[in-house]
């Protein structure tokens, strides 16, 4: 998306909306090298905004993340709202925050109709195994250790991918121009609880959990207040944490060939660099 010519060529006349899902999105990779994150997430967003204006696209939709707002205290009464200050703590989060600022600027400077959503941790089918949940499921299926950063007590707010997609569609069709919507399912869980839950569901021993050196700048807690999306868009998640986890595990079990392909090639090199060990070959 950083190739302006390619983007303009791809935009057909009469395009109603651009929904920008495209992003480098893994925090660990951004710590290893931020260049691709700046190119795709920042420059790429500006290229799309310019193309939207040039082609007369009616609405520009930016899919963002709660990570732009940094880390919450462990006080359970603290939540991210749409008015929370930006405080990104990783190169990835900083790149997404910069992208949001560009979208806001396009709205207020050029009058472009924009909508932004910020979501929590997505999970579900077809998620690349560098992300924690599919990594843990795949490792457990192979009786391999599940690496857990630090003390494992970091809290994330989890949302099933189909619930997130429904929220995006509602915001695209009914969201206010210039508005931001937080999308969260009120599913806060410590990382160690997530690992234990999936091991229990798979019938694997909790002894597979391996604590590893903490991630630099590791945010302690995310928690989203989705009240605006609920009241203005009528959105509610359909999946509970338990039902979404069951569906996710079942999909990876039924699609072992997909997960093996994803765990090969460059992923194997990344995994060894990040965790100091190798994933088993299929």
CA distance 161 to 244: 9
| Longest CA span, the chain | 57
CA distance 204 to 149: 20
| Catalytic hit among 24, 67, 163, 219 | 67
Let me know if 66 is a catalytic residue: yes
CA distance 235 to 160: 14
CA distance 259 to 130: 11
CA distance 99 to 76: 29
| Catalytic hit among 12, 76, 79, 92 | 92
DSSP string of 38-99, one letter each residue: IIIIIIHHHHHHHHHHHHT-SEEEEEEEGGGG----S-TT--B-TTPPP---SHHHHHHHHH
Sheet holding 155-160, edge to edge: 121-123, 155-160, 188-190
| Catalytic hit among 24, 66, 100, 130 | 66
Residues 6+ apart with CB under 8 A from 173: none
Let me know if 75 is a catalytic residue: no
Residues 6+ apart with CB under 8 A from 192: 148, 151, 152, 153, 209
CA distance 164 to 161: 5
Let me know if 267 is a catalytic residue: no
Catalytic residues, which ones?
66-67, 92
């Amino acid at each position: 998306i950083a190739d302006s010519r390619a983007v303009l060529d791809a935009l057909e006349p009469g395009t109603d909306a651009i929904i920008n899902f495209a992003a480098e999105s893994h925090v660990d990779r951004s710590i290893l090298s931020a260049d691709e994150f700046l190119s795709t997430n920042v420059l790429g967003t500006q290229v799309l905004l310019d193309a939207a204006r040039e082609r007369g696209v009616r609405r520009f939709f930016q899919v963002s993340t709660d990570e732009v707002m940094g880390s919450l205290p462990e006080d359970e009464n603290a939540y991210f709202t749409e008015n929370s200050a930006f405080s990104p703590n990783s190169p990835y989060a900083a790149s997404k925050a910069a992208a949001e600022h560009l979208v806001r600027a396009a709205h207020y400077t050029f009058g472009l109709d924009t909508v932004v959503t910020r979501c929590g941790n997505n999970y579900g089918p077809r998620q690349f195994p560098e992300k924690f949940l599919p990594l843990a499921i795949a490792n457990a299926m192979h009786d391999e250790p599940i690496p857990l950063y630090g003390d494992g007590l970091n809290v994330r707010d989890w949302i099933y991918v189909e619930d997130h997609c429904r929220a995006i569609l509602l915001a695209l069709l009914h969201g206010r121009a210039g508005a931001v919507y937080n999308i969260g399912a009120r599913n806060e869980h410590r990382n160690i609880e997530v690992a234990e839950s999936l091991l229990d569901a798979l019938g694997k021993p909790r002894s597979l959990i391996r604590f590893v050196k903490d991630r630099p700048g590791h945010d302690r807690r995310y928690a989203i207040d989705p009240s605006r999306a609920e009241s203005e868009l009528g959105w509610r998640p359909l999946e509970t944490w338990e039902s979404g986890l069951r569906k996710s595990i079942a999909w990876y079990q039924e699609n072992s060939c997909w997960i093996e392909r994803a765990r090969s090639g460059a992923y194997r090199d990344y995994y060894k660099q990040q965790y100091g060990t190798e994933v088993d070959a299929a």
